Amino acid sequence: MKADYLEESLFREFEERLLQPNLRKSAKDIMDLLADEFIEFGSSGRVFDKQQIIKSLQNEPMEALTQRSITEFKTLILATGVVLVTYRIVKHISGEEPVHSLRSSIWKLNNAQWKMIFHQGTLVKE
């Protein structure tokens, strides 16, 4: 079942926040959004746990001329308190070809707070 409009807006806001350079550099903000059991299958082919992704994001170069746009955003309720989010990201870096990826996240309601427990990014051709 698809999440209602308010829930879908909330998850889109969470996903967009995670793309913001300032938030990505804040270990506290990332810790607040990721569950302790978080796992990511990155578009690089690497697998990250919560601590590894926090460290990786803190070392990520600030790409001031990078813009990311989300399209094809969808939500699906998997169970009570568990939501699958899927979307496409187009990463625009000044002077380079856009990079396209498919993204999926699973969010779980934990003590009245939504936390991401899984994320995957897959590079795709336009």
Distance CA 33, CA 42 (A): 17
pTM for this entry: 0.88
CB 84 within 8 A of CB 78: yes
Q: Which domains does the chain have, with CATH numbers?
A: 5-124 (3.10.450.50)
Per residue of the chain (126 residues), give pLDDT as tens: 776 766 899 999 999 999 888 888 888 999 999 999 999 999 889 999 999 999 988 877 766 557 888 999 999 999 999 999 999 999 887 788 889 999 999 999 999 999 999 999 999 987
Q: Is 24 helix (H, G, I), strand (E, B) or coil?
A: helix
Distance CA 13, CA 107 (A): 13
Q: Is 17 helix (H, G, I), strand (E, B) or coil?
A: helix
Tokens 């569950």 correspond to what residue? 35
Helix or strand (DSSP H, E) at 38: strand 34-41
